[in-house]
Structure 1
Amino acid sequence: MNTTIYKGIEFLIIFILLPVSFAIDYSIKLKMGIGIIGFIYIIYVLLWVEEKQFKMAPNLKWCIFWKQTIFKLAVIAILTTLFVWLTDSKLLFDILINKPKLWLFILFVYSFFSVYPQEIIYRTFYFQRYKGLFKNEVLFIFVNAIIFSLGHIFFKNSLVVVLTFFGGVLFAITYKNTQSTLLVSLEHAVYGCWLFTVGMGGMLGFPA
């Protein structure tokens, strides 16, 4: 399971073929079954093949992390607020104002059942499993952003594809610098929750 050929085939199936297949119309139950089996396989490889241990790194630089994340969030907040205001101002903070309980529920479900599994797959697994296959670090991060974006094509929304590409770059850099699934998941959750809050949740499958 650790040969270059095996990893190449594994990469093709997990990060190319499966996401593309999810964009095709067929049973949602079958898609969920395939996704669950794939996630179980990834956890198995991480724990028993790569012998990855999910532990909080002892030297996490929380202050630096939050300063950088808040700065990036401020930039994202300005741009996305302007975007929603210019494209459909009725959506601006609509769910936060009119459906606060639903807003809280969405943030909880998204953060724990979407963000964390994504970061295990696209950062923890990807970095642990394929880093040795890339000699160029920039290319390694670029490919990570591409496959992260590809993983969202089932939304069939070009803006989602663009946003997740840039998000993939940010998350890959954060994981490279921190080696922490926890920190990159927090960053991912912060930006994603902001999109739901500002009124862009509809394109991500949640009420706007």
Structure 2
Amino acid sequence: MQSVTYKLTEFFLIFIILPVSFALHYPFLIKACLAISGFIYVIYVLVKVEGNQFKLAPNIRWMSFWRAVFVKFLVIACLTIGYMLLTAKAELFHVLYQQPKLWVIMLFAYAMFSVYPQELIFRTLYFQRYASLFTSRSLFVFINATVFSLAHIFYRNPLVLLITFLGGILFALTYDKTKSTLLVSIEHAIYGCWLFTVGMGHMLGFPG
């Protein structure tokens, strides 16, 4: 399971074939089974092959992390509020105002059941498993953002692909710097929850 051929095949199946297949029309139950099976395989590889113990990364620099996230969040907030004002002013913060209970439930569910699994796959597995296949760190980060964006192709929305590509770059850089699934999951959750809050959640499958 450590050979280059095996890793390339594994990469192609997990990050290319499976996400693209989800954009095709076939029964949802089959898609769900493929997704669950794939995630179980990822956990197996992380634990049994890569030897992960899911402990906090040593020497986490919390203050540095929060400062960086705060600056990036301010930029994202300004851009997304401006976008909503220009394109869908009536939808700005509409879930927060009209369905606050749904808003709270979805923030929790998204952070726990969507963000963390995504980061285990697209950051933890990707960085630990495939770094040796690349000689260029910039290309390594670019490919990570690309496959993260590709994982959202089933939305069939160019803006979603752009947002997730840019988000993928941010998350890849954070993981590359911190080596912490927890920190990159927190950052991912903050930005994703904000998109739902500001009124752009419908693009990413949020209800309301």
TM-score relative to the length of structure 2: 0.99
- Residue aligning to 2:154: 154
Partner Cα distance (1:145, 1:11) in 2:
14
Q: CA deviation at 1:207?
A: 2.7
The residue that corresponds to 2:205 in the other structure is 205
Give the alignment's Cα RMSD to 1 decimal: 0.7
Aligned twin of 1:56: 56
When normalised by structure 1's length, the TM-score is 0.99
Aligned residue identity for 1:63: M
Match of 1:24 in 2: 24
Task: Write the distance in 1 (CA, Å) between the matches of 2:207 and 2:47.
Answer: 36
Per-residue displacement from partner, 1:83-135 (whole Å, max 9, x unpaired)? 01110111000000111000001101110000000000000000010001111
CA distance in 2 between counterparts of 1:118 and 1:87 reads 29
Distance of 2:158 and 2:174 partners within structure 1: 25
**Alignment match, 2:126:** 126
- Structure-1 residue corresponding to 2:47: 47
1:144 maps to what in 2? Answer: 144
SS at match of 1:57: coil
1:58 offset after TM fit, Å?
2.5
Aligned match of 1:190: 190
Q: Distance in 2 between matches of 1:77 and 1:164?
A: 15
Per-residue Cα deviation, 1:113-172 (whole angstroms, up to 9, x for no partner): 000000000000000100011110000000000000000001111100000000000000
* Structure 2 unaligned spans of 5+: none
1:31-82 CA-to-partner distances (Å, cap 9, x unmatched) read: 0100000000010011101112210023100000001001100000000001
Amino acid at match of 2:170: L
Identify the residue that residue 11 of structure 2 maps to in structure 1. Answer: 11
1:85 and 2:91 correspond? no
Counting matched residue pairs gives 208
User: Could you tell me which amino acid in structure 1 is paired with residue 96 of structure 2?
Assistant: L
Provide the rounded CA distance (Å) in 2 between the counterparts of 1:187 and 1:88: 26
Structure 1 unaligned blocks of 5 or more:
none
1:206 CA displacement: 1.0
Q: Once the two structures are aligned, what percentage of the paired residues are identical?
A: 58
Distance (Å, rounded) in 1 between the aligned partners of 2:158 and 2:32: 23
Runs of 4+ in 1 over 3 A off after TM superposition: none
SS of structure 1 residue aligned to 2:88: helix
Aligned residue type for 2:30: L
